[in-house]
Chain A
Amino acid sequence: MVEIPAQDIRKWVSDLLKSGKFVVLSTITGYQEGDKIFLLYHFATKDGMVDVRSSVPLAGPKIDSISNVLPGAILYEREIHDILGVSFEGIPDNRRLILPEDWPDGVYPLRKDYPATRGEK
């Protein structure tokens, strides 16, 4: 597990890719803890997983997108944008990924203030 500050993520990923080693991004996990949203990048290499953790404040969640250095990251970033409300600066495509078309803006289901179970009708 590697912890790096949010502003360094793009450079860190670029350096990793430039190293020439075999690297595939498995996914990006987003989760909220208290007043922060954590982003966990799961990289798979031939020597095992390299997990990179960054955090952004809940009040203004913004981080650089890594999709321009690693095209395979785009769907994972869009998903986190959709369900957690994190903004990825420089992301080439910012549309909704999985929530319905008429889902209200500003409502992020994976944040802790959203109920996990739908009430009975």
Chain B
Amino acid sequence: MNERIILPIGPQHPLLKEPTHFKLTVEGEKIVDADIRLGYNHRGIEKAAEDRTYVQDLYMIERICGICSHVHATNFVQATEELMHVEIPARAKYLRVIVGELERIHSHLLWLGVAGHEVGYDTLFMVSWRDREVVQDLLELITGNRVNYGMNTLGGVRKDLTKEQIDEVLKGLKVLEDRTRYYAKVALEETTFVARVSGVGPLPKDVAISHCAVGPTARGSGVDYDIRRDAPYAAYNEIPFKVITSDRGDVLGRTIVRVLETFEAINIIRYALEHLPEGPISIKVPRKVAAGEAESRYEAPRGECIHYVRSNGTDKPDRVKVRAPTLANLTSIRYTLMNQQVADIPIIVAAIDPCLSCTDRTQVILAQADSKRSENLSWGELRRRCVTKKPL
């Protein structure tokens, strides 16, 4: 007869992350089942969007998430521009791509630091976030803010790039490329890191597809799907780049995908800067939007983000629907946690790169058969035990 231990992990915990509540019940060291519950970050944005004009909605929707704000802003604006039947200038498309890829780099470096912290590798966290500041400075140079850039407007973008800014960005990219090469080496060859992520949290390709996983979570299991190549938006149909996949299917596979995608992002930005077309950066659009419906998809750092907008001829939308990538990946978390060790919970959950403000709070309840002993652990305590691999 095996003992069942219940570990509730409260919504407050040391480093980063949104209010997350985990309630784990485990059999010895093994997780036998898992449950998902959301709710803490739910603000009521989709409903409030119906009471605000499209321009007001743009600024609210941008703040759905502070890590991928450009994703939501661009996606919403693309859907609205389709409803208005307008074609934005080519230069605006390239500028959207440049800011979008810079955002991807900052998001992947952020993730690398968080992943390092989850396996107890705090140096990686400090060093990758130090280098992430290079990207933040570039974004501040181009758009005026480190987060929530406000780059988009209905009909194009709001800020242009001067020659000096372009030179600064190219210089910054060179620094980033050298540093990322170092991270690739650490993440892929450093034995202690690899040992913590190799073989952990397996997700077979067919399960990834049936559970509708997206982004690096799916591409790390060999699913060859990337919106930028398969349904290109903005200027991606004119920019050559590689889609990175890995057949490993474990957390290491997802790490490889994200690190190599950072290199690709650097190349995409370079190409876009070198081929930046001349011309205006925005066009005038009507205030009232003709009745209709449109959807727009964007390859966010975490996967596919889809926005759907219905208009009714006024200056306010009738319905705005946002499905952020983490919600699509949450169903697969349960599968990847099955039969895994408790010590690996933080890194497995972190491997989908959860952005719960995009999605909502998660309450993971791992349930199993019969027992009575229970233990309360904070997330910090769980992480500490994972680092020392102390048995429960």
Chain A residues packing against B (C-beta within 8 Å)? 22-27, 29, 31, 40, 42, 44, 46, 48-49, 51, 70-76, 95-101, 109-110, 114, 116-118
Picked from B42, B48, B213, B331, the residue with its CB within 8 Å of the CB of A98 is B42
Contact B39 A71 (CB under 8 A): no
Determine the distance from Cα of A46 to Cα of B351 in the docked complex, in whole angstroms.
Answer: 26
Determine the distance from Cα of A43 to Cα of B336 in the docked complex, in whole angstroms.
Answer: 24
Contact B230 A116 (CB under 8 A): no
Contact B48 A116 (CB under 8 A): yes
B51 neighbours in A (Cβ, 8 Å)? 116-117
A26 neighbours in B (Cβ, 8 Å)? 212, 297, 304, 306, 323, 328
B330 neighbours in A (Cβ, 8 Å)? 75
Chain B residues packing against A (C-beta within 8 Å)? 36-39, 42, 44, 46-51, 209-214, 225, 230-231, 295, 297, 304, 306, 308, 310, 318-319, 321, 323, 327-328, 330-331, 360
Contact A72 B210 (CB under 8 A): yes
> What are 5 A-B pairs at a CB distance below 8 A?
A26-B328, A27-B323, A71-B212, A98-B42, A100-B42
A114 neighbours in B (Cβ, 8 Å)? 47
With contacts A42-B295, A110-B46 known, what are 5 further pairs, Cβ within 8 A? A26-B304, A42-B306, A46-B230, A116-B49, A116-B51
Determine the distance from Cα of A45 to Cα of B53 in the docked complex, in whole angstroms.
Answer: 33
Contact A98 B295 (CB under 8 A): no
Determine the distance from Cα of A75 to Cα of B209 in the docked complex, in whole angstroms.
Answer: 15
B39 neighbours in A (Cβ, 8 Å)? 96-101
Query: What is the CB-to-nearest-CB distance from B19 to chain A, in angstroms, rounded to a whole number?
Result: 12
A-B complex: 9 closest residue pairs judged by Cβ atoms:
A72-B212, A116-B51, A27-B323, A31-B319, A29-B321, A98-B42, A72-B211, A116-B50, A117-B51
Contact A40 B331 (CB under 8 A): no
Dominant secondary structure at the B interface: mixed
Contact B231 A49 (CB under 8 A): yes
Dominant secondary structure at the A interface: mixed
Residue in chain B with minimal CB distance to A109: B47
A72 neighbours in B (Cβ, 8 Å)? 210-213, 328, 331
B308 neighbours in A (Cβ, 8 Å)? 27, 29, 40, 42
Query: What is the CB-to-nearest-CB distance from A69 to chain B, in angstroms, rounded to a whole number?
Result: 9
Determine the distance from Cα of A76 to Cα of B329 in the docked complex, in whole angstroms.
Answer: 12
Contact B42 A70 (CB under 8 A): no
Contact A110 B213 (CB under 8 A): no
B37 neighbours in A (Cβ, 8 Å)? 95-97
B47 neighbours in A (Cβ, 8 Å)? 109-110, 114, 116
A99 neighbours in B (Cβ, 8 Å)? 39, 42
Determine the distance from Cα of A34 to Cα of B49 in the docked complex, in whole angstroms.
Answer: 19
B360 neighbours in A (Cβ, 8 Å)? 97-98
Query: What is the CB-to-nearest-CB distance from B333 to chain A, in angstroms, rounded to a whole number?
Result: 11
Determine the distance from Cα of A23 to Cα of B206 in the docked complex, in whole angstroms.
Answer: 11
Determine the distance from Cα of A95 to Cα of B330 in the docked complex, in whole angstroms.
Answer: 16
Contact A31 B44 (CB under 8 A): no
A116 neighbours in B (Cβ, 8 Å)? 47-51
Determine the distance from Cα of A98 to Cα of B359 in the docked complex, in whole angstroms.
Answer: 9
Determine the distance from Cα of A101 to Cα of B321 in the docked complex, in whole angstroms.
Answer: 23
B214 neighbours in A (Cβ, 8 Å)? 24
Determine the distance from Cα of A70 to Cα of B206 in the docked complex, in whole angstroms.
Answer: 12
Picked from A27, A31, A73, the residue with its CB within 8 Å of the CB of B310 is A31
Residue in chain A with minimal CB distance to B39: A98
Query: What is the CB-to-nearest-CB distance from A82 to chain B, in angstroms, rounded to a whole number?
Result: 9
Contact B327 A75 (CB under 8 A): yes
Determine the distance from Cα of A27 to Cα of B211 in the docked complex, in whole angstroms.
Answer: 12
Query: What is the CB-to-nearest-CB distance from A61 to chain B, in angstroms, rounded to a whole number?
Result: 16
Contact A24 B209 (CB under 8 A): yes
Given contacts A22-B225, A31-B321, A114-B47, contact A49 B42 (CB under 8 A): no
Contact B212 A97 (CB under 8 A): no
Determine the distance from Cα of A96 to Cα of B42 in the docked complex, in whole angstroms.
Answer: 12
Determine the distance from Cα of A51 to Cα of B308 in the docked complex, in whole angstroms.
Answer: 11
Residue in chain A with minimal CB distance to B332: A72
Query: What is the CB-to-nearest-CB distance from B204 to chain A, in angstroms, rounded to a whole number?
Result: 13
Determine the distance from Cα of A48 to Cα of B230 in the docked complex, in whole angstroms.
Answer: 8
